[in-house]
Structure formats: C-alpha cells, structure tokens
Amino acid sequence: MGEFNFNYWLRMEPMKYADRDPSTLSPKLLMKRQEMIDNKNGEFIATEKHDGYWAMFIRGDGEEIAIRSRNKGKNSGEYGDFTGKLPHMVQKMHLWPSGTVVLGEVCWKEYGRNSSDITTILGCLDEKAVERQKKEKLHCYIFDILCWQGENFVESGMGYFDRLKHVFLFMDKYSSDNFSATDAYFGPNYLDYSEKIVEKGGEGCVIYRCDYPYEPGKRSLAWKTLKLKASMPEMELLVEEALNPNKIYDGKELAGWPYWEIEEPVEIMLSSGDVIHETTIYLEKNPDDIMKQYGTPVTKPYFFS
C-alpha cells in the first residue's frame, strides 16, 4: 500500500463530464458525437447515469472517512460534506480497505423517484438528514474508483475501462444494501442502451473513452466523455395559463442557496431576543444552521410567489 494523503482527496477538484446540445454542434462535431454513440472501433464504454448527487467516498487510515460533494460552498469555499448525513454508508465504509476512494451517485435505489426528495435530505443538517431517512435510506451507485489500497489511479493515468473493472472487483466483495456498482454496457449502439434506461425510469447513460484517465478540473477539449439523457422535442405552444411554480429546489448548489422554507412548527430565538412561533418562516439571506436543520430548499419562483 502506498502513502495515502487524506486531504489530497478532500480538496481534489472533480472532473467535468461533457453534456452537449446536438443542435449547437457543427457537422464535423456531430459526426464525432455519432462515432461515440456507435462505439467506433470499440474505443468507448457506457455506464448508466442515475438521478442523484455526485459524491466522493474516501476511506483513509484508521477512522478517517469522508463523503464529500462536487460543489463548494459560496461562503466556506470548501466542498460540501455529506458524511454525517449518511451514517448507514459510513458504517459500511469502515469495512473497506484503507486507502480507497470511489465515486458514486447518491440517489434512491429504485427508479421513478424524484431527486428533489434527495435535496431535502442532503440540504439540511446531519440530525435532520438522518431523521428523514428513517423509513427509507439513500443508496449509492458506484461508477468510478480513483484509489485502491493506496494505489493512486489518477496519478498513474489508468484508463476508465481498467478503473471500471476495479469497481466491479471491489463491489464483488463489498456490495451491500447501501452500495452497488452502476450498470455498464460495451456494445455497438449506446443510444439504444440509453433509451432502454429511460424507458424503465432512469436518466440515461454516460459514454467514456476506454483509455481516458481521470482528469481533475476542467474537461479536455477532446471528446472523451458524453452524456446521453432523455430529452423532450422542441415545440412552439401558445401559453394560455401560467402554472404554479415548482416548490422543491432540486439543483446541485445547496451550499449558499438563499431560498428556504420551514413548514414544521418550530421555536426560533432571534438575535434581538424575541421568540417566534410560526408554521412557515421565510429567510432571504443565506440559510443559517436553523434553516438547514428544520427547513427545505425551495425554488426562487415559489419563494416569491
């Protein structure tokens, strides 16, 4: 086992995956996109894309364990910390070998569930997040492994196909009710594969170049990854009536999100010393600990409606 630097992984910038609108591409780039979808020369592999939150799971030495997000807080400048919100996953991580780092999507295990429910869990304080998982706990589908028993696959430049093989070997031994490997497919037509996932309630797939190493930070200009997701055809419609705005904010920028709502009766002590008892309380400024503990992030249109 090589030397394992826990903080190296806590601070590593995530790799970005390409997600390109075909209508904006030149004929040459459309051809390149199609070559990826057709798996030209067997250079690409696809994995199922789940509707949830990206997370890095870090198993260090001794008791060092962390589950971090891909986004930084606007105020703290640090990556979000999911560790205290997912104790059932932390418990399983203690069984992993030291020096292991994997990437996964935290989501509901079954299809057809709205990711906005996940936002209400991962967006609040630890105690409330655990309480909101009493009936059903979140699951993780692992799709990449960056370090195994101290062997750093990022620094060695290992390609995605080989990293994915390590994922399946890892999950053969450590899969559980809380962790499983994402589905993978190596074939001639990734559009069909993506559409079958969508038909059963999934989100689509991500296509990777087999020899593509994990590159923290900005994605390469070359086409080495591509997301294929469900999309609606473009139509022009006459607006006859405005619908009420969606309530739950299901975006990924929870850290610093300013629009929160408390629906449960709660006693809050204001800085002035006054105590307020309200069923619904709104806060325009960045959410404090009380809002994150008892509240739910809502969309901006709903907040101002």
pLDDT computed for residue 22 by the predictor: 80
Q: Which residues have CB under 8 Å from 188's CB, separation 6+?
A: 38, 39
Q: How far is CA 113 from the centre of its chain?
A: 15
Write down the domain spans for the chain.
6-229, 240-305
pLDDT computed for residue 220 by the predictor: 55
pLDDT computed for residue 301 by the predictor: 72
Reported pTM: 0.77
CA dihedral 122, 109, 192, 116 (to 10 degrees): -30
- Residue 77 backbone class (left: φ over 0; alpha: ψ -120 to 50; beta: rest): left
84: its two tokens: 């205290």
Laid out side by side, the sheet with 44-49 consists of: 184-185, 44-49, 204-209, 225-229
Beta bridge partners of 65: 59
Per-residue pLDDT of the chain (305 residues; tens, 9 = 90+): 557 999 999 999 998 877 677 888 888 888 988 999 999 999 999 999 998 999 999 999 989 999 999 988 777 788 999 999 999 999 999 999 999 999 999 999 887 776 677 888 988 889 999 999 999 999 999 999 999 999 999 999 999 999 999 999 999 999 888 999 999 999 889 999 999 999 988 889 999 999 999 999 866 556 788 888 765 444 344 445 556 677 777 665 665 676 767 665 555 454 454 444 443 344 433 445 555 555 677 777 776 66
Q: Which residue has the tokens 């390590």?
A: 166
The DSSP output letter for 171 is H
Phi, psi of 161 (to 5 degrees): -60, -45
Q: How far apart are CA 10 and CA 100, in angstroms?
A: 13
pLDDT computed for residue 290 by the predictor: 52
- DSSP letter string over 49-86? EPSSEEEEEEE-STT-EEEEEEEE-TTT-SEEE-GGG-
Q: How far apart are CA 159 and CA 282, in angstroms?
A: 48
Q: 87: helix, coil or strand? A: helix
* CATH tag, 6-229: 3.30.470.30
Please report, as a single letter, which amino acid is at residue 111: Y
